[in-house]
Amino acid sequence: MGNKFKQYISSDLRVRLTMIQIFILASFLLFSGLTIYQTACSLVGEMNGVTRSVQNGFHVDLLGYFWLISAGAIIIGGFVYVKVTRSMLKPIQQMKGSVREIRNGRYPEPISVDRETDDIGQLVQHVNDLNQKLQLNEKLRNRMLSDMSHEIRTPLSNLRGYLEALQKGIIKGDPAIYQSLYEETQRITDLLSQIDWIREWDGSALDTMISPDLIEARELIDHVVKLYALEFQQKGIPLHVDVDTAEIYVDNRGMQQVLTNLLSNALSYYSGDEAVEIKGEKSGSDYTIFVKGPGLSIPNEQLEKIFERFYRVDTSRSRDTGGSGLGLAISKEIVDRHKGSIEVESDEHIHKFIVCLPNVVSQS
């Protein structure tokens, strides 16, 4: 029993603070009270006409009042202090419980904040924000794992179906079958490559991961355009390029991936007869890249979601074109790491992606 009491005393912050406060209050009352008692007794002893018995009675009465007042002051002071510290330390006790729940892999309810302006209130808010962010990250991680599993399972199931049919003699191998098998394996390879990009450019990584170089914007864009020029020509899709000259500090490999994703989407989801337009404009300290082209309509409520990982406006259509739903998410991660922005504007079937990059080098 004694050990449990000592353990409780040593572990409960409120009890320890209360005991310290009572000790300080009692010491102050004892020192000041005894000083007043000695002074009063001395003054009474020096008074003329006061008998010894009266002095002794005064001493006894004064000492009794001293102990009574001291005890009352300690009890009242301790009670008030307990109430105050209980109110002050309640959020800390709640945070202790919340952190314990988080450590055990659970996510507690947010702690109510009645005092947002003081340090404890701000600390509670930080714990609530941390709890909320961890929950969101857990949901995103679970959704990403589920989507990855589904995306990989689909081509693997197709491969298994083809191979079982070949093994049982249901179908015979020919160039078309081998091409289908190759395309399914390529889908898996492309998906894993994009997952590597997501991991590399994840927003939680360190800023030092970016390796900015002084790049000529026109050369960067022209290089990526040349990679797709033949495909655009073979499909009969008109391609217009109008790019301003400017030097910008960017991660060359990262920005090539952004432009590759945007041009690949413009090519894969092309629907119409208008030209695909690529523009680069210098404005002050910013450089803006526009990729505009026709495609199937995107509902307004889904415009912002297209930058989420594995999100697709039309699941079946994306799979037909080989889309995994990661390209735009990767592009956003890369642009965000450059302190820039990427957004999309849609007018029925015409879609325009806008990439704004800072750190343009002024040319005098």
pLDDT of residue 259: 92
**For residue 9, what pLDDT band results from cuts at 50, 70 and 90?**
very low
Mean pLDDT value of segment 316-322? 48
More confident residue, 41 or 246: 246
- pTM to 2 decimal places: 0.56
The average confidence (pLDDT) of the chain is 78
Task: With a cut of 70, say whether residue 2 has pLDDT above it.
Answer: no
pLDDT of residue 201: 63
Please state which CATH number belongs to domain 119-200.
1.10.287.130
pLDDT of residue 312: 60
Task: With a cut of 80, say whether residue 216 has pLDDT above it.
Answer: yes
Mean pLDDT value of segment 30-44? 77
Task: With a cut of 80, say whether residue 337 has pLDDT above it.
Answer: yes
Question: Please, which residues bridge with residue 286 across strands?
Answer: 283
Task: With a cut of 90, say whether residue 268 has pLDDT above it.
Answer: no
Query: pLDDT above 70 covers what percent of the chain?
Result: 82
pLDDT digit string (tens) for 218-237?
999 999 999 888 889 889 99
Pick the CATH number of 209-361 from 3.30.565.10, 3.40.50.150, 3.40.640.10, 3.60.15.10: 3.30.565.10
| Range from 97-101, 177-181, 281-285, 320-324 that averages highest in pLDDT | 281-285
Task: With a cut of 50, say whether residue 359 has pLDDT above it.
Answer: yes
pLDDT digit string (tens) for 72-117?
877 887 787 777 777 777 777 788 888 888 888 788 888 777 766 6
Task: With a cut of 50, say whether residue 32 has pLDDT above it.
Answer: yes
More confident residue, 320 or 67: 67
Indicate the range of 8-12, 196-200, 337-341 predicted with least confidence: 8-12
pLDDT of residue 281: 93
Indicate the range of 277-281, 296-300, 306-310 predicted with least confidence: 306-310
pLDDT of residue 13: 65
**For residue 318, what pLDDT band results from cuts at 50, 70 and 90?**
very low
pLDDT digit string (tens) for 166-212?
888 888 878 888 887 887 787 788 778 767 766 766 654 444 456 78
Residue 303 CB: number of other CB atoms within 10 A?
A: 15
Q: Where are the domains of the chain?
A: 2-103, 119-200, 209-361
pLDDT of residue 261: 87
pLDDT of residue 346: 87
Indicate the range of 66-70, 193-197, 331-335 predicted with least confidence: 193-197
Mean pLDDT value of segment 248-265? 88
Task: With a cut of 80, say whether residue 285 has pLDDT above it.
Answer: yes
